[in-house]
Amino acid sequence: MNETSGEQAVAVEIRSGGSQNVTPLAYDGFLRSRLDALRELVGLSRTRVDSKTLAEAGRVLDEAAARRRLSGQHTVVAIAGATGSGKSQLFNALAGSTISDTGVRRPTTAAPIACSWSDGAAGLVDRLGIPGRLRRRPVQSAEAEAQLRGLVLLDLPDHDSAAVQHREQVDRILALVDAVIWVVDPEKYADAVLHERYLRPMAGHAEVMFIVLNQVDRLPGEAAEMVLDDLRRLLDEDGIALGEHGEPGATVLALSALTGDGVAELRELLGQFVAERGAPARRISADVDAAAWRLRPVYATGRRPGLSEEARDEFAARLADAVGATAAGEAAERAWLRNANRACGTPWLRLWRWCLDRRDPPTGPVMVPAQADEEATARQRVEQAVRTVSERASAGLPAPWAQAVREAAVRGSQGLPEALDELAARAGLPPGRPPRPGWWPAAVLTQAAMTILQVVGGVWLVGQIVGVMAPNLGVPVLLMMAGIVGGPLVEWGCRMAARGPARRYGQDAERRLREAAAGCGRARVLDPVAAELLRYREVREQYGRVTGVEAAVR
């Protein structure tokens, strides 16, 4: 057993958990910013990410808030180890008195025992759930107490105990303490349970870990150094940074709790570690790192989210095709030309076309199946457009956010075909006749003049035939020929002149319908999708603040 100041120290039981004036723990600005970002991240993600995925982050926030309210002058260090590793013996050696029972019976330690070197730690021990009968205060020399002032040392049950409740206690307390001393022995230092269940998952907590190779008195000659080097190799494979050459990381050393060899060195290192008072914040920071790493698949992606202009334009073009914008433009162009023909065409040709329309009217029943097929095809085009744009918007996003984007697109697409049909009826051809250019009255008058020439020439000839007028075939024939030839020429010229305005009128109608379809698709599909992408960008920015490296998620 280790002795301090030449005297055997004793320990007194602490039963009072009364109120004590303590200085709460204070986090620096960077850690507070990370915690605030993690809290904001969890809040923004509750409707998109399942509660099980966010549970660890929520636990870290709760524990960080709980630890912050408690003493910042104390550091809680747990001694953990396997059965027979000698952790209780080391606990007693550091305390300077027999506090935790040791023996060959396994498991020896059935419940965690707390030992505090100064007042004000009651709240911390209460948080750990350790009853008053298992709390001790070593009574040592002033020098020995000053060396470890602020330390709260715990002796935990065996992490590989056959009793399930012992292992559960170890796991629960390890999640709450500020630092851990892992005690291993020459026989079990490479135990797979220790490395796979504890050390490897806690690799990010290296700065608040001590790895102690105990019972080196059992190793002959240079065997202790060889085992220690092999232990360092295993820790390196676990991803645990070793605090060598002044670098941050776990402290690794060899000692013998039985003979006291190396215990003084550990005591000195512990004293320096506690005096820094940085372990609680480093532990919380490591917990935030671990939570952020678990959440990385939910927030990090290799691409910048968003919809390109090309994808937006393609979506608008698909909707325009579904609503028949091109056909509407062509129909508007034909309507303009038809109006021009009615206004500027020869009366005889217009009369002939009217008779044909009266004789062969379009039959409605034949068009019904074609119209139904066209509506079905248009609906399929809309669905395909929505599916394509949602796939492009969600490509590369983490699963929860990709699902949210697709769901937003599907919700927006409900009723979209009907809205497009209504829009096509409203924004297609404008009511009334197409507008007429300024030259139309002159063309109409010219066509009327050609008709008058034909009528005058015809009446003149009839008058000559019945003997009412003097014979003179040249002038009436010339008038009739001028009217007969001039009428079609005027109509042809008007048709040529009407092509440009008709095309512009059709293009304008197509443009209006395309813009209306694009606006409808944007309001119903693209804007909800963009809102989900914006929400993802916000949480990704928060995730960057949590990790402390925003570039890591871009």
Residue 342 to residue 491: CA distance in whole angstroms: 10
One domain for residues 266 and 319: no
One domain for residues 350 and 463: yes
Specify if 516 maps to a domain. yes
Give residue 548's pLDDT.
Answer: 82
Specify if 440 maps to a domain. yes
One domain for residues 95 and 165: yes
Give residue 20's pLDDT.
Answer: 58
Tally of domains within the chain: 2
Specify if 350 maps to a domain. yes
Domain housing 188: 75-121+135-276
Q: Is the pLDDT of residue 553 over 50?
A: no
One domain for residues 272 and 313: no
Give residue 347's pLDDT.
Answer: 67
How far is the CA of 49 from the CAs of 297, 382, 536, in angstroms? 11, 29, 11
Give residue 244's pLDDT.
Answer: 76
The residue with tokens 């068009």 is 367
Q: Is the pLDDT of residue 133 over 80?
A: yes
pLDDT tens digits for range 52-70:
999 999 999 999 999 999 9
Q: Which of 259, 276, 293 is the last residue of a domain?
A: 276
Specify if 6 maps to a domain. no
Q: Prior bond to 471 cis, omega within 30?
A: no
Q: Is the pLDDT of residue 369 over 70?
A: no
Residue 322 to residue 245: CA distance in whole angstroms: 70
Looking at per-residue pLDDT, the higher value among 102 and 533 belongs to 533
Looking at per-residue pLDDT, the higher value among 362 and 444 belongs to 444
Q: Is the pLDDT of residue 11 over 60?
A: no
The whole-chain average pLDDT of the chain stands at 82
Note the Cα 548 to chain centre separation in Å.
17
- What predicted TM-score, i.e. pTM, was given to this entire model? 0.74
Note the Cα 442 to chain centre separation in Å.
67
**% of the chain at pLDDT higher than 70:** 82
510 band by pLDDT with thresholds 50, 70 and 90: confident
What is the DSSP secondary structure assignment for residue 188, as one 8-state letter? T
Q: Average the pLDDT over 499-521 and give the result.
A: 83
Q: Average the pLDDT over 148-174 and give the result.
A: 92
Specify if 294 maps to a domain. no
**% of the chain at pLDDT higher than 90:** 38
Give residue 378's pLDDT.
Answer: 75
Give residue 180's pLDDT.
Answer: 97
How far is the CA of 359 from the CAs of 2, 217, 350, 353, in angstroms? 121, 118, 14, 10
One domain for residues 458 and 335: yes
HEC-encoded secondary structure of 100-161: CCCCCCCCCCCCCEEEECCCCCHHHHHHHCCCHHHEEEEECCHHHHHHCCCEEEEECCCCCC
How far is the CA of 128 from the CAs of 43, 156, 164, 266, in angstroms? 28, 11, 18, 24
Helix (H) / strand (E) element for 253: namely: strand 251-254
CATH value at residue 191: 3.40.50.300
CB-based contacts of 51, cutoff 8 Å, min separation 6: none
Give residue 458's pLDDT.
Answer: 75
Note the Cα 276 to chain centre separation in Å.
38
Specify if 298 maps to a domain. no
Give residue 5's pLDDT.
Answer: 39
One domain for residues 80 and 156: yes
One domain for residues 80 and 160: yes
Q: Is the pLDDT of residue 370 over 60?
A: no
